[in-house]
């Protein structure tokens, strides 16, 4: 490296126009496509971090019962509206390891609120891998081990407790199960419908195309939420929470496909004129085969990126529906159902921790947005 007087740096090596370029090209030619995409994706910091975060979040879903110290509907009638308890390490300047002070509640007859006083003389150590309420790991393995719990005389409400004295942290981790999967099911429905209608319209053109296009236009021009509301109001109230959950996610998907179908159709319109499509047709491939084997793989990655970008809308949609009382209903636990408690100004003012489920929603939605942006930017590895 030589520093020129005008401040530029020049490499001392003699310039070899062939060597570096050839080497790079050879490497890139040999590399499979996914490697190139991955290489580019790695440079997108925010997208990478979001992707890892989401992987961890989804990976932890089956272990929600293990992470939560209590069951989602376990009530502590002595501890209504308990504020978040902090986990401390030092008691009177002495290290004792993670512990909590036991809380005693007392009704204040002036303000009609529960007041909580920590008993700072008795540090009660947290237990790890302890036994507690029974739950099903990943839905079928019965277990009663929890990652951590308080000793018998104390409670541990990291994020406080709600109106009925249920631990909000436990409910947030159980709620993740429904809130995170609602988007996945919804997007699957929307994906299948979108690809089917988009490819049929784009490939066959003509009257089919016209019809599909009108349907897309009409669905896109309608405000989603009132339709969601109307459709979910139609779900019978005597159905089990699981059935309601599936129906809600399907409803979210049914109204989401037009956007996807539109981009699929646009791609098909340009791709169906390519030579390889004609070649396949001449060799006698059926329309279905041409669509599936020759056309769709071309932009599957783009579709995945755009699907990633529309998952947040579904998560927010579920939240909104449950918040209004038309989506999932108790005893099902989702973040939207929990926010239902934070519906009025009282809770914002006096019990702000009831609105805590908002944080995971915001974080997950942001993560999906960043991941989608990162994927979209890195899908075309040859573009500089």
Partner 1 sequence: MEILRYAIYRFGTMLMTLLVVSVLIFAIINLPPGDYLSNQIAELQATGQSAGVAKAEFLRKEYALDKPLWQQYMIWMGFMPGPHGFSGMVQGNFGWSFEFDSPVADIVGDSLWLTVLVNLAAVIFVYAVALPLGVLAAARARSWVDYTTAFVGYLGLATPNFLLALILFYYGHRWFDLPIGGLMAPEFEGAPMNWDKVKSILVHLIVPTFVIGTAGASAMMQRLRANMLDELGKPYVETAIAKGMAPSRMLTKYPLRVAFNPFVADIGNLLPSMISGSVLVSVVLGLQTIGPTLLTALKTQDMFLSGFVLMFVALLTLIGTMISDVLLVLLDPRIRYEGRDA
* 301 lies in the binding site for partner 1 (CB under 8 A): no
Out of 52, 96, 234, 350, name the contact with partner 1 by CB under 8 A.
234
Total binding residues for partner 1 by CB under 8 A?
Answer: 42
The answer to whether 130 and 143 are in contact (CB under 8 A) is no
The answer to whether 143 and 62 are in contact (CB under 8 A) is no
* 243 lies in the binding site for partner 1 (CB under 8 A): no
* 271 lies in the binding site for partner 1 (CB under 8 A): no
Closer Cβ to partner 1, 161 or 340, answer by number: 340
* 349 lies in the binding site for partner 1 (CB under 8 A): yes
Distance from C-alpha of 28 to C-alpha of 43, rounded to nearest angstrom: 17
Centroid of chain to Cα 73:
23
Out of 137, 147, 185, 316, name the contact with partner 1 by CB under 8 A.
316
Out of 312, 360, 372, 374, name the contact with partner 1 by CB under 8 A.
312
Out of 22, 192, 233, 350, name the contact with partner 1 by CB under 8 A.
233
Angle at 105 between CA 103 and CA 107, to 5 degrees: 165
Q: Which runs of consecutive H residues, i.e. helices, occur in 221-295?
A: 224-233, 241-254, 257-271, 275-282, 287-289
Select the span of 69-77, 127-135, 271-279, 362-370 touching partner 1 (CB under 8 A).
362-370
Distance from C-alpha of 29 to C-alpha of 301, rounded to nearest angstrom: 19
Strand partners, 135: 143
Closer Cβ to partner 1, 233 or 243, answer by number: 233
* 153 lies in the binding site for partner 1 (CB under 8 A): no
Out of 147, 324, 329, 381, name the contact with partner 1 by CB under 8 A.
324
Site for partner 1 in 191-230 (CB under 8 A): 213-214, 216-218, 220-227, 229-230
Out of 130, 164, 285, 355, name the contact with partner 1 by CB under 8 A.
355
* 342 lies in the binding site for partner 1 (CB under 8 A): yes
Residue 262 C-beta: closest distance to partner 1, Å = 7
Which chain residues interact with partner 1 by CB under 8 A? 213-214, 216-218, 220-227, 229-231, 233-234, 236, 262, 312, 316, 319-320, 323-326, 339, 342-345, 348-349, 355, 358, 361-362, 365-366, 369
């Amino acid at each position: 490296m030589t520093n020129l007087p005008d401040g530029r740096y020049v490499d001392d090596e003699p310039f070899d126009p062939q060597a570096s370029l050839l080497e790079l090209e050879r490497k890139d030619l040999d590399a499979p496509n996914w490697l190139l995409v991955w290489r580019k994706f790695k440079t997108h910091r925010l997208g990478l971090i979001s992707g890892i975060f989401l992987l961890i979040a989804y990976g932890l879903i089956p272990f929600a019962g293990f992470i939560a110290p209590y069951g989602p509907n376990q009530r502590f009638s002595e501890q209504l509206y308990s504020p978040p308890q902090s986990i401390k390490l030092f008691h009177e300047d002495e290290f004792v390891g993670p512990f909590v002070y036991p809380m005693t509640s007392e009704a204040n007859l002036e303000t009609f609120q529960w007041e909580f006083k920590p008993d700072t003389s008795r540090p009660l150590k947290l237990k790890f891998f302890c036994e507690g309420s029974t739950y099903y790991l990943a839905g079928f393995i019965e277990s009663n081990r929890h990652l951590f719990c308080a000793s018998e005389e104390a409670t541990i409400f990291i994020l406080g407790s709600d109106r009925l004295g249920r631990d909000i942290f436990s409910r947030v981790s159980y709620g993740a199960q429904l809130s995170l999967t609602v988007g996945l099911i919804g997007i699957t429905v929307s994906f299948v419908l979108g690809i089917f209608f988009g490819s049929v319209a784009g490939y066959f053109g003509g009257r089919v195309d016209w019809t599909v296009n009108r349907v897309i236009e009409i669905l896109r021009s309608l405000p989603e939420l009132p339709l969601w509301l109307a459709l979910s109001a139609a779900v019978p109230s005597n159905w089990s929470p699981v059935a309601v959950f599936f129906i809600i996610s399907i409803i979210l998907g049914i109204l989401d496909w037009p956007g996807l179908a539109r981009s699929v159709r646009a791609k098909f319109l340009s791709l169906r004129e390519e030579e390889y499509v004609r070649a396949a047709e001449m060799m006698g491939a059926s329309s279905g085969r041409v669509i599936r084997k020759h056309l769709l793989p071309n932009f599957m990655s783009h579709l995945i990126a755009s699907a990633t970008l529309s998952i947040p809308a579904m998560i927010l949609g579920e939240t909104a529906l449950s918040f209004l009382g038309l989506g999932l209903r108790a005893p099902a636990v989702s973040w939207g159902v929990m926010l239902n408690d934070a519906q009025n100004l009282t809770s914002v003012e006096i019990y702000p921790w009831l609105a805590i489920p908002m944080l995971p929603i915001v974080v997950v939605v942001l993560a999906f947005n960043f991941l989608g942006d990162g994927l979209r930017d890195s899908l075309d590895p040859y573009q500089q």
